[in-house]
Amino acid sequence: MKVLISTDIEGVAGVYQSEQVRAGNPEYERARLLMTHEANAAIAGAFDAGATEVLVNDSHGGFRNMLADVLDARARVIQGKPRYLSMVAGVEEGVDAVCMVGYHSRAQGRGILAHTINSFAFAGISLGGQELGEAGLYGALAGEYGVPVVMASGDDVFIAENRALFPHATFVETKKATGCTSGISLSPEQSRRAIRAGVEEALAARAKARPLVFEGPQTVTLRAQTSALADLFCQWPDFERVDGVTLRFTARTVEAAVRMLNCCSAMSTMLR
């Protein structure tokens, strides 16, 4: 059994503030260590369940957060960007299941540090009329490769948003959101124990899980944070301007949609 673990940071126990998720300060250095340890808990759970190979995808920001020399040596780590499959890079390696660790609520959700892909650029993303966060978008991308999401961890709002998308997944609540930058968290030790047990449980029951599949070409609706960003994104000739901050485009696959969104995210740096 080959497992992909995709790791973000905003859903990690003890993480609440923007300083903790942005490089260049001591708060971030501590948070990236907490992130690495939660990844290790997931790796341990995968091997407890009988995994023969584990890939760990560093899926936050510049994709180079986890401390390679602290990660469980049994796993292989995917870091750095750009990469076409972004937060689920490695799914093309023939994996059997995806686990999402440290994930968060979607843009303008009520979860801790809620956003979708790029908090500066995007106020909301919908596929076929359904608003999705990162778990939904990348779960659907994994689904195009025939791979189900079997486990996910994060705050209570993240879980509530995504339970219906992944009805057979095991969810681990690391904290309760009481605001965008506040919450009630498990201790790091408790969170790691819960993640390890959750991954083991999820992989033991993985035969019940089904990939998240969005059939056919995808109509993507993107709400930008400002009209200036919508101006910028609509330099792409295939984009239709709906209103001041909303645009629409059609993508042949979820993978194509995600790649186009990540191009917009990269473009947005022009206006920072």
From CA 76, how far away is CA 194, in angstroms rounded? 22
Between the CA of residue 68 and those of 21, 72, 206, 269, what are the distances in Å? 18, 9, 28, 28
Joined together, the tokens standing for residue 103 give 């994930």
Q: What are the residues whose beta carbons fall under 8 Å from the beta carbon of 14, sequence distance 6 or more?
A: 31, 34, 175, 185, 187, 188, 191
The two tokens of residue 144 are 């195009």
Structure tokens, 19: 């300083």
Tell me which residue has tokens 């994060």: 154
Beta strands in 17-109 (DSSP E): 53-58, 76-78, 97-103
Query: Helix, strand or coil for residue 155?
Result: strand
Catalytic member of 37, 60, 104, 115:
115
| Omega cis (within 30) before 211 | no
**Catalytic residue status for 115:** yes
List, by residue number, the catalytic residues.
Answer: 115
